[in-house]
Amino acid sequence: MAEVKLEVKNLTKRFGELVAVDNVSFEVREGEFFSLLGPSGCGKTTTLRCIAGLEIPDEGKIFIKGRDVTMLPPQQRGISLVFQEFAVFPHMSVYDNLAFGLKIRGLPKDEIRRKVLTIAESLHLTDYLGVKAGKLGLSEQQRTALGRSIAVEPEVLLLDEPLTLVDAKVKESMRRELRRLQKELNITILYVTHDQLEAMMMSDRIAVMNAGRILQVGSPMEIYENPKNVFVAKFIGSPTINIVEAKLEKEDDMLKIVLNDVKLDIEKKLPKEIGEKYAGKNILIGIRPEDLLIFKEKSSPYDIKCSVDMVELTGNKMELHLKLGEMSIRALSTIRFDIEESSEIYLRIHPEKTCIFDRETEERIA
């Protein structure tokens, strides 16, 4: 396993009565693309600013390559930081932007030139070296800002929502470019974003944050398939997961979920001790829209009748907004067929593809 480049231990940061970062701990390995993901105000940027040395934590420690940097100034931490605004020097050429940090460090001219040309080639900026940065497009400006940060060979590159201000078409290509560059140069990146799609597409691992706390750390697939609680389940995935209330019953010594008068066998999903604890109680069921099967006619005793509220076509997919009693459900299908709003339709749920949550704590139980 790769060595740990960045370690955050029990980090806490307060602003008056507000606890912005609450006992946060995580590790970022060498060459890893690690994302802090969460809604606005969850504490992810404050965490990054503490790591960068722009904020001093009230409690906890920060280690970079095993060295305690908690109280060191930013320039002594071995990090580079890129903000939302790319912060290029518009009056300077791309070459001078890339060389800026190297000149500050007093490197010889020949070494600066060699490093700048290497970085420019990796970032496809060779043709722009003589162009003033203020005349570049957004993609080239972002690559210039990244190149300037990478040129000084930081131990960890900190990126604070660098693609937020970029339009959708440019953002897609820039995501690919950033990921390619990160892998080619083996850069260790801590990436802050509120965009779950960005985090899912680019990250090796993700830490999902809310209200100053880290709720779950794992690979994109781990978090998508096995969310630890309702918040994580809802935050990851598009369209959003359906969370519906159901009842867990024991019938003929078999555990079943009762949902809208349909009973689903859940015996294989629940460990025996969990089933015994929750039998007879209301629970929450998480069902991804893409895991629901849709039928125009009932063909199984396990099919659940719904009414169609709205139909949305999104290219090769059809998204259905449905009513299940008083509950709203969304289903996603790659099979398109004619269906009218207010008509009836049937859903089939595979119990093994559901997430089961405690109704009170919203923590996952199976």
CATH number, domain of 317, equals 2.40.50.140
Q: Which residue has the higher pLDDT, 351 or 132?
A: 132
Residue 86's pLDDT is what?
67
Whether 157 is covered by a domain: the verdict is: yes
> What number is the average pLDDT over the span 151-170?
85
> What are the φ and ψ backbone dihedral angles of 357, each rounded to 5 degrees?
-125, 150
Q: Do 75 and 190 share a domain, yes or no?
A: yes
The parent domain of residue 292 ranges over 242-358
Mean pLDDT of 115-141: 90
Query: What are the residues facing 8 on neighbouring strands?
Result: 26, 62
**Residues 269 and 319 occupy one common structural domain:** yes
**229 lies in the same domain as 248:** no
Is residue 309 located within the same domain as residue 194? no
Q: Note whether residue 365 is domain-resident.
A: no
Characterize 309-337 residue by residue with b for buried, 16 or more Cβ atoms within 10 angstroms of its Cβ, and e for exposed: eebeeeeeebbbbbebeeeebbbbbeeee
The predicted pLDDT at position 81 comes to 92
Per-residue pLDDT reduced to its tens digit, 303-353: 999 999 999 988 788 999 999 888 899 999 887 778 888 899 999 998 888
Name the H helices within the chain.
44-52, 94-104, 109-122, 138-151, 168-185, 196-202, 220-225, 230-235, 272-278
Q: With a threshold of 0.95, does the pTM exceed it?
A: no
- Out of 235, 268, 290, a domain closes at 235
For residue 188, being part of any structural domain is answered with yes
Same domain, 253 and 226: no
User: What pLDDT does residue 177 have?
Assistant: 81
100 falls within a domain: yes
In a domain, 110, yes or no: yes
Our CA dihedral for 231, 233, 237, 243, rounded to 10 degrees, sits at -100
Does residue 266 form part of some domain? yes
The answer on 118 and 30 residing in a single domain is yes
CB 290 within 8 A of CB 363: no
Residue 337: phi and psi, rounded to 5, are: -150, 160
Domain boundary among 215, 235, 255: 235
Q: Please indicate, yes or no, whether residues 249 and 231 belong to a single structural domain of this protein.
A: no
If asked whether residues 207 and 246 sit together in one domain, one would say no
Within 10 A of 288 (CB to CB), how many other CB atoms are there? 20
Strands 156-160 and 79-82: parallel
CB 287 within 8 A of CB 349: yes
pLDDT reported for residue 260: 81
Looking at residue 256, what is its pLDDT?
87
In a domain, 285, yes or no: yes
Torsion of CA 114, 120, 123, 126, to 10 degrees: -140
Q: Domain end: 235, 267, 292, which one?
A: 235
Q: What is the CATH number of the domain that holds 132?
A: 3.40.50.300
How many separate domains does the chain show? Answer: 2
What are the pLDDT digits (tens) for 44-101?
999 999 999 999 999 999 999 999 999 999 999 999 998 877 678 999 999 999 999 9
Three-class DSSP category at 267: coil
Which of 170-174, 261-265, 331-335, 362-366 is the most confident on average?
362-366
Distance CA 184, CA 295 (A): 47
Q: For residue 317, list its beta bridge partners.
A: 314
In this structure, the answer to whether residues 183 and 289 fall within a common structural domain is no
Let me know whether 205 and 252 are in one domain.
Answer: no
Is residue 258 domain-shared with residue 299, that is, in the same domain?
A: yes
Note whether 61 and 80 are same-domain residues: yes
